[in-house]
Amino acid sequence: SQQGEEDPQALSIQEGENATMNCSYKTSINNLQWYRQNSGRGLVHLILIRSNEREKHSGRLRVTLDTSKKSSSLLITASRAADTASYFCAQLVYNNNDMRFGAGTRLTVKP
Amino acid sequence: NAGVTQTPKFQVLKTGQSMTLQCAQDMNHEYMSWYRQDPGMGLRLIHYSVGAGITDQGEVPNGYNVSRSTTEDFPLRLLSAAPSQTSVYFCATTRETGANEQFFGPGTRLTVL
């Protein structure tokens, strides 16, 4: 069964706007990661946040983690058409070696 | 460096046929894994390996076999293909365990008729 769920399933915005995607998960985690997938391609790692961290930044990306609510959010600021892709959260299940992925959010940024 | 490579890119099989999906990495990573991605779903872990000679099952292992004789290669074998195995298959590696960022191959699109 999937560990995480992304919300919304699809998001369409104009270039320059901010995009926020949310991820909820079910069990205790070691860390949470966000990945991007362009159509027909493999996943590319964006950012990793550990269970003892609350916020992390990388360029135009900002990730938050709330372990009490078992949720995370990914904010992409000043979006560009090139940000059009599917975004997945993934959790390393605590005391386990496998990663669990959600179904993803499909982001469309219109020029 | 090529990173993570997968062959073939596309494959069509008939029900009952067997085949091997190849995955190779030149990053000297210990941890390798195989995922499948079905439409509208995230990736699901099939098998993984924490080092040469060591493999373990993931979330959906049935119908697949793996082996890890070298650090570089991690082939995935379909013993008797079924239409339910139609999917896109991704191989991924990471430096140690699944704790670190994973590097994905470009994927193999498999259709079983």
Mapped onto helix, strand or coil, the DSSP state of residue B49 is strand
Q: Write out chain B residues lying below 8 Å of A40, CB-based.
A: 107
B1-54 residue pLDDT tens: 779 999 999 999 999 999 999 999 999 999 999 999 998 778 999 999 999 999
DSSP letters along B15-40, please? TT--EEEEEEESS--SEEEEEEE-TT
The pLDDT tens digits for A45-83 are 999 999 999 999 999 999 999 999 999 999 999 999 999
Quick: pLDDT tens for B55-96: 999 889 999 999 999 999 999 999 999 999 999 999 999 887
Looking at residue A95, what is its pLDDT? 60
Q: How far is A23 from chain B (nearest CA, A)?
A: 12
Residues 6+ apart with CB under 8 A from A29: A51, A67, A91, A92, A93, A94
**Number of A:B CB contacts under 8 A?**
66
- Chain B residues in contact with A98 by the CB 8 A cut-off are 33, 45, 48, 58-59, 98
Peptide bond preceding B75: is omega within 30 degrees of 0, i.e. cis?
no
Residue A93: how many other CB atoms lie within 10 Å: 17
Q: Are B24 and B76 in contact (CB under 8 A)?
A: no
Partners of A44 on chain B (C-beta within 8 Å) are 104
